[in-house]
A and B are shown apart, each in its own frame.
Chain A
């Protein structure tokens, strides 16, 4: 997995609560068996009309927000379905960071397996970022996972929290399976004492 240490990028805001993974990546694209190419389908039903034409009003289609890589979102972002496809789509589209007051738990977890950094900030702070994103053309943020800091060129500097094990994983681009297999001996010991009545297929 690609490492994440620091990222500077343009912001775009989708500041409404409860944007679920069905909106981020609609179900018609879940039939694909690849991990790549999902960026074209990100927010598909919002980005495109029934005939596949761009919906000009949707924020991602506005020229000033082209190539944004930091998404400012409302609370409970990524709730609902466990589909990791939603994270693949955000990442494939070019997003590296999502900042929101809260996230759906499975989505939040999935982000760390794909190299997308989800950041929890208080609702008021996200609101402020959204306001700046509206007022300042080409508003950019610098997100440092190393320093656990979000900053801009106008003096803003906010610390954020993140569990150490998640941070380390992204900083190093670690693969979970390798990490788990360090405990091979413990796993084998555990398997020996599992209750006999538990079902086997």
Chain B
């Protein structure tokens, strides 16, 4: 009995260095400007080449501006320029600013059909877990490992354990993949999946679109998982059909045959199985400084004095101090200054459709500054063609160019100290969106509704216009 993870692992072992350490072959290496300069440097210092430029592809996303393509920040400009030069020198294909496929690394690759079931994909970025949505084993690596993969196309790994997260039954209306994964992280904690590769299954997972599945797998890392996986099915194949890099004709049939067999043999193949009931999940909002500090929109900020132990109590107190919240404050009473719709978690076309549906016919609250940053040029074009961009702009949102933007705030898109933001991104860590800034994570629909109301509201009660 084997899990999907076991199977992908076995099919990629180049050699065992020792009983525990395997050398795995990497099918696709995604790169971006932030975690590569030192890796390229290492290659050059030792006179090494890139083994497979045909399995390596890059983009500019983290430190790029989203207003126009002119980079004012001297360091960012240098980093971007060095990335261009290195890619050109080594013959690596990449998507430059303003070109038609540029976007966040975890958005452009799937939409071009580069992510296919059964592959191993790595990237110097923790949210590489996103690509597990296709049944591809995908994980983040450090810069030294980026250099290793560039030089050898292989990575040394020891095997993780297998965790199955089953989400049974159906999600209620207006409850999304984002709420599902925030809920799960809230239950299992920031270390709940440490040491594991997580596979997600169950009716609620099967009912998700590829966009929703990517949102779920994307946040696996916030529970400490090595990777997240969803076995491929009709939804996956439908999505992949006719994408730029998807197999065509006879090769498609060949691939499909292989993909259809990619699933875990039985629940019994897992070390641990956790089950959740999707019908219990309500729209989620984080109140603290880890994604596990989360509750339902109709809930309350917790009271630290009711924490399980001293350590939890002090970390709750610290979080509330940083977030400027009171114990037992109602979530819906939290007023926001900013709203951010974007990031590799929630900037795909479906996310923008959900948000636009809420926004249509409304205006952004005058006290709120709101922006939408599509995940890629492709998403941007599509949203413009579908009229979503117009809905946002007419409501008072800023409509930006693709990039990581205020998910990480490496460019000018950032919170001022004490500013409070409803955000569709994945990390509410201290200072993540700007020093002293306060982040509440939620779904695109919930963030859109908060932007209009000026505070959090239950999107299930929304009056769509």
Contact = CB atoms under 8 A, between A and B. Distances in A.
Interface of A: 16-18, 20, 22-23, 26-28, 30-35, 45, 50, 74-76, 79-85, 87, 102, 104-106, 109-110, 113-114, 163-165, 176-177, 179-181, 183, 186-187, 190-191, 194-201
A16 B314 CA distance: 8
Interface residues of B, number: 83
Residue among A183, A190, A199 with the highest chain B CB neighbour number at 10 A = A199
Interface in B296-323: 311, 314-315, 318
A177 B148 contact: yes
A19 B435 CA distance: 16
17 contacts: A16-B311, A18-B290, A23-B431, A26-B435, A30-B62, A34-B38, A45-B430, A79-B224, A82-B35, A82-B140, A164-B18, A195-B258, A196-B251, A197-B255, A198-B27, A199-B245, A201-B114
Given A31-B78, A195-B258, 10 more contacts: A35-B38, A76-B191, A76-B194, A79-B191, A104-B224, A177-B147, A177-B148, A177-B152, A183-B14, A187-B154
Contacts of A163: 20, 158
B126 interface: yes
Give the secondary structure class of A's interface: loop
Nearest to B93: A201
A26 B114 contact: no
Given A105-B224, A197-B251, A31 B73 contact: yes
Interface string B25-58: 1011000001101100100001010000011110
Task: For the complex of A and B, list the 6 residue pairs with the smallest distance between their C-beta atoms, beginning with the closest.
Answer: A113-B144, A110-B142, A31-B75, A33-B37, A84-B142, A197-B255
A198 B20 CA distance: 27
A114 to B, nearest CB: 7
A186 B14 contact: yes
B429 interface: yes
Nearest to B252: A197
A31 B410 contact: yes
Given A113-B142, A180-B23, A22 B431 contact: yes
Interface string B135-175: 00000111111011001111010100000000000000000
B143 A84 contact: yes
Contacts of B427: 20, 22, 80-81
B315 A16 contact: yes
Nearest to B225: A105
B113 A199 contact: yes
B144 A110 contact: yes
Contacts of A79: 190-191, 224
A104 B116 CA distance: 27
Contact of B25 (A17, A190, A196): A190
B35 A83 contact: yes
A16 B145 CA distance: 29
Nearest to A15: B311
A182 to B, nearest CB: 9
B315 A33 contact: no
A199 B114 contact: yes
B38 A18 contact: no
B23 A106 contact: no
B431 A45 contact: yes
A180 to B, nearest CB: 4
Residue among A31, A84, A110 with the highest chain B CB neighbour number at 10 A = A31
A31 B145 contact: no
A54 to B, nearest CB: 16
Contact of B190 (A33, A76, A191): A76
Contacts of B154: 180, 183, 187
Contacts of A200: 54-55
A106 B126 contact: yes
B409 to A, nearest CB: 6
A200 B290 CA distance: 38
A79 B195 CA distance: 13
A113 B191 contact: no
B434 to A, nearest CB: 9
B416 to A, nearest CB: 10
A109 B126 CA distance: 13
A113 B116 CA distance: 30
Interface in B97-113: 113
Contacts of A18: 190, 289-290, 315
A180 B152 contact: yes
A183 B21 CA distance: 13
Contact of B142 (A34, A106, A186): A106
